[in-house]
Chains A and B, each alone.
Chain A
Amino acid sequence: MTMAVFFSYVIFWLIALLYVSGFFGMMEHHHLVKKLMAMNLMQTAVILFFLVLGQKIGGVTPIAVPGLTDPDAYVNPLPQALMLTAIVVNLSTTGTALAFLIVIKKHWNTLDESEIMRRMDK
């Protein structure tokens, strides 16, 4: 690949790096809160991926500027609207997971996954 082609895709490489780090972090860590944070990292990577899809060269934010009526001058607002929904879904999931962690901590007094699994099998 030529350098120009590589650099035009560098944002996708970065998003892929973020996604894979989140996935690896979830497998690697034993602490439940760190797993949760890695999951959030994965979700953020997907949101960024969607937002990149709507970008145009020289486009402005999709808020109506008086006098600018050409639709090609505005960035595509559809991915941004979709990702607003996805952000709220992530909020609900994180809130639910944190509520579970509070109960787990109260009951087992530890947040280490291998420790809890060892005790659950007893």
Chain B
Amino acid sequence: MKATTNSIILEVACRLLIPVLIVFGIYVLVHGEYSPGGGFQAGVVLALAVILNRVMEPADTKKGYWTFKIIALAGMGPVIYILTGLWSIPFGGNFLEYSLLPLAVHEAERHLYGILLIEVGVTVGVMATIISIFDSLGKVGDPDDHGSLL
């Protein structure tokens, strides 16, 4: 949390909101298959918590938040999804067959855990994507970048 911002209202509001958003995001993720919620919505809420931190910066800030690491994280999210799907293959199932996951619970409960794992992957991916979109808007471009879009 920064000590110097332009607007004290913004700072106080964000300080109150960000912890609530993080907890709410995780709540939405875990309750996704029992009530409205799930991976995409949780990812957006968690991304919002991080973006509010960026919004609190003063208007004339020179600090850029764009790094390449956020794209790496955005890739790793769906990788968790795919690895969960592939996890049941050595145990005799098809792709994404949750009933054959090697978890020590009843067979019907395995669907619950399988879906939770893939939703975690989706959440990480969506969160990193939205944060990267916001960060790249603030990226300072090179004046003579030869016309390359990258």
Binding site for B on A (CB under 8 A): 63, 84, 88, 95, 102-103, 106-107
Given the complex of chains A and B, what is the CA–CA distance between A107 and B143 in angstroms? 11
Q: What residues make up the interface of B, taking CB atoms closer than 8 Å to A?
A: 35-36, 40, 133, 137, 141, 147, 149
Q: Does A103 contact B149, Cβ atoms closer than 8 Å?
A: yes
Instruction: State whether A63 touches B40 (Cβ < 8 A).
Output: no
CB of A84 within 8 A of CB of B40, answer yes
Query: A63 with B35: in contact, given A84-B40, A88-B40 (CB under 8 Å)?
Result: yes
Between A and B, 9 residue pairs with Cβ closer than 8 Å are: A63-B35, A63-B36, A84-B40, A88-B40, A95-B133, A102-B137, A103-B149, A106-B141, A107-B147
5 shortest interchain CB distances as A-B pairs:
A63-B35, A95-B133, A88-B40, A103-B149, A84-B40
**Minimal Cβ-Cβ distance residue in B for A85:** B40
Contacts of A102 in B (CB 8 A): 137
The secondary-structure label for the interface of chain A is: helix
Residue numbers in B under 8 Å from A106 (CB-CB)? 141
Which chain A positions have C-beta within 8 A of B149? 103
Tell me the complex Cα distance, A103–B96, Å.
40
Q: How far is the CA of A106 from the CA of B141 in the complex (A)?
A: 10
B133 partner residues in chain A, CB cutoff 8 A: 95
* List of B residues within 8 angstroms of A88 by Cβ: 40
Q: In the complex, what residue of chain A is closest to B141 when comparing beta carbons?
A: A106
What is the minimal beta-carbon distance from A99 to any residue of chain B, in angstroms?
Answer: 8
Given contacts A63-B36, A84-B40, list 5 more A-B pairs with CB under 8 A: A63-B35, A102-B137, A103-B149, A106-B141, A107-B147
- Bound complex: CA A85 to CA B13 (Å): 33
Q: What's the nearest-Cβ distance from chain A to residue B135, in Å?
A: 13
**Residues of A contacting B141 with CB < 8 Å?**
106
Chain B residues near A95 (CB-CB < 8 A): 133
